[in-house]
Amino acid sequence: MATLIAVLPGDGIGPEVTAQAIRVLQAVAPGHDLALEFAEGLIGGAALDAGEPPLPPATAKLCDSAAGVLLGAVGGPKWSDPEAVLRPEQGLLDLRATLGVFANLRPVKPHPALLSASPIRAELLADVDIMVVRELTGGIYFGKKTRSDTDATDECRYTVAEIERIVHVAANLARARSGRIVSVDKANVLETSRLWRQVTTRIMAGEYPDLELEHMLVDAAAMHLLSRPASFDVILTENMFGDILTDEASMLAGSLGLLPSASLGVAGRGLYEPIHGSAPDIAGRGIANPCATILSAALLLRHSLDCEAAAGQIEQAVFRTLDDGLRTADLAGGAASASTQEFGDAVLARL
């Protein structure tokens, strides 16, 4: 019986990069006795254009029945009216809530062949290997919102249970790495951060005494992430801080187009997507970097299908492609040596 993978290409460059990831999954599956079936659904702006809500009921049903969900990107200027009742990004938030994926994993490990693509000095990037663990379904993005002609509010709310479960995820990952966690908050100002720090300290001291825990304010973390990135191992943080810090961390790798992510719940089913946006300025030109989406597909194999060998095979094929000098436009200062399709072809050849 085939394993169902839900594919949500989304907006902008999303369809272009997800197409390459699907090709790679189709190529690697037979060698690992995987029978994969792919079904597409609408989300974001594409759903709005079709007269549907940002997360159509049919898409939610598809994703709920799938073993994993591969997402391209959502949003763009076409749907950016701040007065609009429905916006593409709401589809992504609703999908996270529907799937119950609360732990967002974003690995940041600059590839040696691409150190010159980063604006950060190469000597600062040696040995950088960071795992950002971002809480995904709480905080200010999911709090109550109000708006009037004269004011607006966004409530930031966290419960003890929400913090406890994300701390356990970070701690178990740290045990498999170098045993160090930096928990990022704004406890000098925010009550939610004070609760975050209190709960994290209690859980770590009581259940993970073998691990090293450091608390760091988010502004200091943003600075140190660029000035001494190799000092971080696992970064644990709440929703909005994690969103911002991981985009910043992408500059260590050289491009948003390189970094994948996995959003996990308690049942193994996950949502996998590149950390970049829909890049509408380059959509349809065939120049988008598919690396992050292909690597997100590898994370799907690892975390939702428990197929480490296939995941590693894809990752090594991507890395060898980069080692061999192929560069999409984002990595080549405009002098690209490969289109989106050609980069996908090269990865397939190395599989």
CA-based nearest residue to 92, from 184, 8, 34, 190: 8
pLDDT score at 240: 97
Q: What is the rounded CA–CA span in Å between residue 286 and residue 302?
A: 28
Q: What is the rounded CA–CA span in Å between residue 8 and residue 71?
A: 5
57 and 91 in contact (C-beta within 8 Å)?
no
Model confidence over 232-290: pLDDT tens digits? 999 999 999 999 999 899 889 888 889 999 999 987 789 999 999 999 999 999 999 99
Domains (range + CATH), the chain:
1-104+256-351 (3.40.718.10), 119-253 (3.40.718.10)
Model confidence over 66-76: pLDDT tens digits? 999 999 999 99
**DSSP 3-state of 73:** strand
Q: Where are the alpha helices (DSSP H) in 66-110?
A: 88-99
Q: What is the rounded CA–CA span in Å between residue 56 and residue 47?
A: 7
Residue 336 has pLDDT above 80, yes or no: no
Q: Kindly give, in sequence order, each residue whose CB lies less than 8 Å from that of residue 275, ignoring residues fewer than 6 positions away.
A: 106, 246, 247, 250, 256, 259, 260, 261, 292
DSSP-derived secondary structure letter, 129: -
pTM listed for this prediction: 0.91
Strand partners, 216: 184
- Across residues 96-124, what is the average pLDDT? 91
**DSSP 3-state of 70:** strand
Residues noted as catalytic: 141, 186, 219, 243, 247
E-strand ranges in the chain read 3-10, 36-40, 68-73, 103-108, 130-135, 145-147, 152-154, 180-185, 212-217, 234-237, 260-264, 270-274
Longest Cα separation, the chain:
61
User: Which tokens go with 312?
Assistant: 């590693």
303 and 265 in contact (C-beta within 8 Å)?
no
Q: Kindly give, in sequence order, each residue whose CB lies less than 8 Å from that of residue 175, ignoring residues fewer than 6 positions away.
A: 208, 210, 211
**pLDDT band at residue 334 under the 50/70/90 scheme:** low
219 and 166 in contact (C-beta within 8 Å)?
no
Q: What is the rounded CA–CA span in Å between residue 347 and residue 23?
A: 10
- Among 7-16, 19-28, 104-113, which stretch is predicted with the lowest mean pLDDT? 104-113
CA-based nearest residue to 170, from 139, 108, 220, 212: 212
